[in-house]
Amino acid sequence: MSFLPKTIEKLIETFQKLPGIGPKTAGRLTFYLLHMPQEALDNFSRNIADLKKTVVYCSICSNIAETDPCSICDDITRDIKTVCVVENPIEILSIEKTGKYKGVYHVLHGAINPLNNIGPDELKIEQLLKRISSGNIREIILATNLNMEGEATAMYIKREILNIKSKNENLNGISITRLAHGLPVGADLEYADEVTLSHALEGRREF
């Protein structure tokens, strides 16, 4: 038997549906909101309610934005011939923070994961292949995550691009690259896993 009000119980259950949120964290978040000033709480709820009302998907790169096309695709200073493929929109923020990338993006909105019934058709891969078929792209950078799902997705996309190139000689100039990966700065070899070490060895360069 619970002694909590039904409203609080329901909110705790709602928070638990979010990724990475367990019962204790859900409870802390709920009671934190309970002690917020009503005005701040109203503003918080409005932001949640407006989330899907004001956000659209870019018809070019599938990134989330307030306008279509998004601000990146609409930026004439960007190199539209270089496309960085990422799994989710939040990864664009990480790349943009470096200030080193001046190309455009394509967001897949996930990765191939058979265990969760996510196949190529559930992702924005077909849209990417159509962009490539236009013949305006010089380089595809596969920046999917360095896990089993990300690697499988990158391999699938590479295979599909090579298939397109084999049927259209005008696309032979397209290069397919993968983000370099290996040992992070400050890491000790002692604590590196085998996969990370193998990638570091394969990607070694002249010093």
Name the band, by pLDDT with cuts 50, 70 and 90, for residue 3: confident
Q: Which two tokens stand for residue 12?
A: 């705790």
Helix (H), strand (E) at residue 57: strand 56-57
Name the band, by pLDDT with cuts 50, 70 and 90, for residue 207: low
If you average pLDDT over residues 171-185, what whole number do you get? 82
If you average pLDDT over residues 183-202, what whole number do you get? 74
Domains in the chain and their CATH numbers? 6-54 (1.10.8.420), 77-201 (3.40.1360.10)
137-156 pLDDT, tens digit per residue, is: 999 999 998 888 999 999 99
Of 4 and 200, which is predicted with more confidence? 4
Residue 72 near residue 104 (C-beta atoms within 8 A): yes
Name the band, by pLDDT with cuts 50, 70 and 90, for residue 2: low
27-54 pLDDT, tens digit per residue, is: 999 999 999 999 999 999 999 988 888 8
Residue 1 has pLDDT above 50, yes or no: no
**56 strand-pairing partners:** 65
Which residues have CB under 8 Å from 61's CB, separation 6+? 69, 70, 72, 73, 83, 104, 105, 106, 107
74-129 pLDDT, tens digit per residue, is: 999 999 999 999 999 999 998 999 888 999 999 999 999 999 899 999 999 999 99
Taking alpha carbons only, the member of 141, 55, 57 closest to residue 105 is 141
Residue 188 has pLDDT above 80, yes or no: no
Q: In percent, how much of the chain has pLDDT > 90?
A: 66
Residue 39: what pLDDT? 95
Distance CA 37, CA 13 (A): 22
What's the pTM value of the predicted model, to 2 decimals? 0.81
Distance CA 89, CA 87 (A): 7
